[in-house]
Structure 1
Amino acid sequence: MSLIAADSTGRFAVMGPKALERHPKTSAGSSLGHVVVTCENPSLLMDANLSQLEQHGMSGPIVMARIESTDPDDGEWGFQEDDLSFWYILDEGARPLIEGFDEAMAYYTAEALPIAKWIIDGATAGDILRRLGRTSGYLAEN
Structure 2
Amino acid sequence: MPGLSQAAYIAMCTVLDSIKLSREQVHVGKASRRKAGRSDSNEPSRTPDEELAIVTEVVGLLFGIQPNCAAAAALTTEIGANLSYDLQPRPVSVVAVEKSSNTLLTMGPKANGKFSAEARARMEDRRPEGRDTGHLVVTSTEHLRLLDPNMRQLESYGVKAPSIMIRVKSVDPESGEWPFEWQGLQLLYILDEENRALIPAYEAARQDLAARAKIIAADIRAGRSLDLIVARAR
Q: Say yes or no: TM over 0.5.
A: yes
Task: Answer yes or no: is 1:10 the counterpart of 2:112.
Answer: no
Aligned-partner Cα distance in 2 for 1:78–1:130: 30
Shift in Å, 1:130: 4.8
Moved more, 84-93 or 28-37: 28-37
- Equivalent residues in 2 for 1:1-142, closer than 5 Å: 1-8=92-99, 9-23=101-115, 24-25=120-121, 26=123, 27=125, 28=127, 30-109=131-210, 110-111=212-213, 114=217, 130=227, 132-133=229-230
What is the TM-score normalised by the length of structure 2? 0.47
The structure whose residues are more often helix, as a share, is 2
Change (3 A) 1:42 1:91: same
Moved more, 7-16 or 20-29: 20-29
* Structure 1: segments with no counterpart, 5+ residues: 135-142
Q: Provide the rounded CA distance (Å) in 2 between the counterparts of 1:105 and 1:128.
A: 24
TM-score by length of 1: 0.74
Q: Could you tell me how far apart the structure 2 residues matched to 1:65 and 1:129 are?
A: 20
Calculate percent identity across the aligned residue pairs: 33
Q: Secondary structure at the match of 2:186?
A: strand
- Relative to its length, the structure with more strand (as a share) is 1
Contact persistence 1:12–1:56 (CA under 8 A): no
Query: Is the partner of 1:22 in helix, strand or coil?
Result: coil
In structure 2, stretches of 5+ residues that fail to align are 1-91
Equivalence for 2:39: none
94-103 or 66-75: bigger deviation: 94-103
Maintained 8 Å contact 2:96/2:106: yes
Aligned Cα root-mean-square deviation (Å):
2.8
RCO (CA 8 Å, sep 6+): is it higher in 1 or 2?
Answer: 2
Name the SS for the 2:180 alignment partner: strand
Q: Secondary structure at the match of 2:179?
A: strand
1:3–1:88 Cα contact (<8 Å) kept:
yes
- Work out which of the two has the higher radius of gyration on C-alpha atoms and give 1 or 2: 2
Count the aligned residue pairs.
126
